[in-house]
Chain A
Amino acid sequence: MFFCRVVASLGLALFFLLPTNGFSAAGDPAATRVDSFYAALLDTMKQAKQLGVKGRYDKLAPVLSNTYDLPLMSRIAVGQNWAALSAAEQQSIVAAFTRMTAATYASRFNGFAGEQFEVLQTADQPNGDKIVKTRIVQSDGTAVQLNYLMRNSGGAWKIIDVYLNGTISELASRRAEFGSILKSGGANALVSALTKQGDKLLAGG
């Protein structure tokens, strides 16, 4: 059995020397949403130098708001403390998190080096959510897998979490961060940290 698997590995590797094709997710509304997001991101990357960090922020902020359910992500990241916050505090956190997210993209995607964004396939979840599997291929052929957990919110599919290599949840990491700051300084400290981070990213571009 073991030997057979070794032979199978070797045989398949030698036989399938050409890259295989990805699954098509054409037509799926969630996949289309991610496709549009990637198109906007690529467009911004290609104009990155002319736009500058502020220009990239202005271009990406509305796209990100349409693509991500940032209010829901804020709520999840805050966790059990959410209900105890005032409406004003909740709104401040959502606004600061939204701004910081756009600032992060504006700061990081500051050029284009031949990256390719590929939407591979969509998987339906039991609760009606979808996972859109994608990968980003660098110019040297190195690929990074990014999966998006998406939910239909008010008729529009929006991203509610991002999984790197299928396992590392960005929202889980943010939740850990938010929890740590809320524990030590409360809602004001969280808004302050988010705002400061946004300022820093927008100033550094």
Chain B
Amino acid sequence: MLTGLWKIAVAIALTAMLSACAASGPSLPSPDLVGSRDSLPGTKPTNAAVAAPTDVASLPTDSNDAYDPYEKMNRSVFERNEKFNRSVVYPLAGFYINNIPQPVRTSVENFVSNLAEPIVFANDVLQLRPDAAATTVGRFAINSTVGLAGISDVASRNSIARQSGDFGQTLYVWGFRKSPYLIVPIIGPTNVRDLFGTGVEVVASIPAGNLLPTQIASAANNITVAGTIASPFTKLDDVDNMKQLEDSSLDFYTMLRSVVDQKRQAELQEALAQSAWTAAGRANLRTATPPQPTALSPFQHAPAPKTPTEEFMANTLQGANGVN
């Protein structure tokens, strides 16, 4: 019993330490990352009504690139962060992974993620997303009780997926769309809007005495994100997926920027599609049907529209047949 408690305590302590490291570089990117692409200069929004290009060669190469006007400066900071990752983050992550059993790590991540649900809920309310807010309340209630104070993510196992909801996303829904990609020393990849959003969330947590749990929850979320985005390039059982993503990249800076931008765009578009602030969101809410259980996502009444990447790739692939 004591051994078990000791391991849990070590796990929590290491997670807290990793929170500083996780937020310190691009190896463990925050989900609060890249700004809107729909306002990028020189890019055209795609939609189904626009005829697909007849050949991919007619498309500008950078049509789908993230908005990165400070690339030169960002690359410089990125390199320094990478050195820090190699010297500190990867060894620390390796120690954590090798010494803490997977079930304990999962339980710690579940516990701290559950602590962050109130912030997710608050932002879903600010974004006028009743479905996401209600689902988050349900998740928090279930995981805090049946899930033993959040140690077990019973909700996700029953297809009640964790919802997005952060203040950077809220600002996007409120109209702050354009935001350049930014690599911040120690903190890592973000953008001006989302960096501000994260700052607001941290400050908002202080009066409630939640600063430490929030940081830990954020770290756990970052670790989860790191594990998620690297999976197609890696074998799944490794947790140092970001290092493996780097190993799979020709140009890690560009690869990471693309991956985190796509992930963030999906969250932002999902928020718009579900928000009563937008006409599309209101239409989706009006046509929403009561939740029906399915194998995939019973609570996703209003599926997110295609992200800019999905639309771009769909249009690109539409006209491309064969090599020559």
A168 touches B291 (CB 8 A): no
A162 to B248 CA separation, bound complex (whole angstroms): 15
- Residues 81-118 of B, flagged 1 when their CB comes within 8 A of A and 0 if not, give 00000000000000000000011001000000000000
A9 touches B138 (CB 8 A): yes
CB-CB < 8 A to A74: which residues of B? 323
Give min CB distance, B46 to chain A, whole Å.
13
A10 to B266 CA separation, bound complex (whole angstroms): 26
CB-CB < 8 A to B312: which residues of A? 172
A181 touches B251 (CB 8 A): yes
B294 touches A5 (CB 8 A): no
B310 touches A167 (CB 8 A): yes
| B160 CB within 8 Å of chain A | yes
| A31 CB within 8 Å of chain B | no
Q: Which of A32-40, A59-67, A75-83 contacts B (4 or more CB under 8 A)?
A: A75-83
Give min CB distance, B64 to chain A, whole Å.
6
Given contacts A83-B57, A179-B61, are A76 and B317 in contact (CB under 8 A)? yes
Q: Count A-side interface residues using an 8 Å CB cutoff.
A: 84
B316 touches A138 (CB 8 A): no
CB-CB < 8 A to A2: which residues of B? 130, 133-134
CB-CB < 8 A to B62: which residues of A? 179
A17 touches B255 (CB 8 A): no
Which has the most chain B C-beta neighbours within 10 Å: A129, A133, A146, A173?
A173
| B56 CB within 8 Å of chain A | yes
A81 touches B320 (CB 8 A): no
B295 touches A23 (CB 8 A): yes
B237 touches A113 (CB 8 A): yes
CB-CB < 8 A to B74: which residues of A? none
State which residues 241-261 of B face A: CB under 8 Å: 244, 247-251, 254-255, 257-259
Given contacts A19-B157, A168-B229, are A9 and B235 in contact (CB under 8 A)? no
A177 touches B155 (CB 8 A): no
A197 to B154 CA separation, bound complex (whole angstroms): 41
A80 touches B236 (CB 8 A): no
CB-CB < 8 A to B57: which residues of A? 79-83
Which has the most chain B C-beta neighbours within 10 Å: A104, A149, A177, A193?
A177
Instruction: Return the contact of B296 from the options A120, A139, A160, A171 (Cβ within 8 A).
Output: A120
Give min CB distance, A133 to chain B, whole Å.
8
Enumerate chain B interface residues (CB-CB to A < 8 A). 52, 55-62, 64-66, 102-103, 106, 130-131, 133-135, 137-139, 141-142, 146, 154-155, 157-160, 228-229, 231-237, 244, 247-251, 254-255, 257-259, 262-263, 265-266, 290-291, 293-296, 298-299, 307, 309-310, 312-314, 316-318, 320-324
11 A-B residue pairs with CB within 8 Å: A6-B134, A9-B139, A10-B142, A13-B142, A22-B295, A111-B235, A144-B231, A164-B231, A180-B254, A181-B251, A200-B247
Please name the 7 residue pairs, one residue from A and one from B, whose CB atoms are nearest each other, closest first: A9-B138, A5-B134, A167-B266, A176-B258, A83-B57, A173-B258, A71-B323
